[in-house]
Amino acid sequence: MEHIDGVIARALAEADVSFAELDGIAATGAPANRGVIVGVTTGKAIALARGLPFLAINHLEGHALSARLSDDVAFPYLLLLVSAGIVSC
C-alpha cells in the first residue's frame, strides 16, 4: 500500500502516457491477497475519479498471461502456476 502511488507513476512514465490519455483501468482481482486488494481498490478509485471503465482480471490468469507481456511468448505455451491457496474477497 505504501508503494502503489510510485508504481502507478512509474508505469505511466515508462509508457509515456498521462491519466488523460487512458481509455480504461484494469487490475487483477480475485482470487486475492492483500496486495491484489490494494491494486483493485486503487484501480476502481482511479476509474471512478476519471470516469473510466474498470476491468477486473483474474489474478491467476494475470500471472499466466504475463509472459506474453514481458517476453512476447507466443501461444501456445506451457505454464506451471503454483498457488499457496485462495482467499475470497
Which ranges of the chain does DSSP label H, i.e. alpha helix? 4-15, 34-50, 59-70
Most distant pair of Cα atoms in the chain: their distance: 39
- Provide the strand spans (E) within the chain: 25-29, 54-58
> Position 29: which residue type?
G
CATH 3.10.580.10 fits 4-70, yes or no: no
Please list the helix, strand and coil fractions of the chain in percent, rounded to the nearest 5, in that order: 50, 10, 40
Residues composing the chain: 89
Domain boundaries, the chain: 4-70
User: pLDDT tens digits for 4-28?
Assistant: 999 999 999 999 999 999 999 998 8
How much is the pLDDT for 19? 93
How much is the pLDDT for 18? 95
Residue 31, pLDDT above cutoff 80: no
User: pLDDT tens digits for 52-70?
Assistant: 999 988 888 888 888 888 8
The mean pLDDT value of the chain amounts to 87
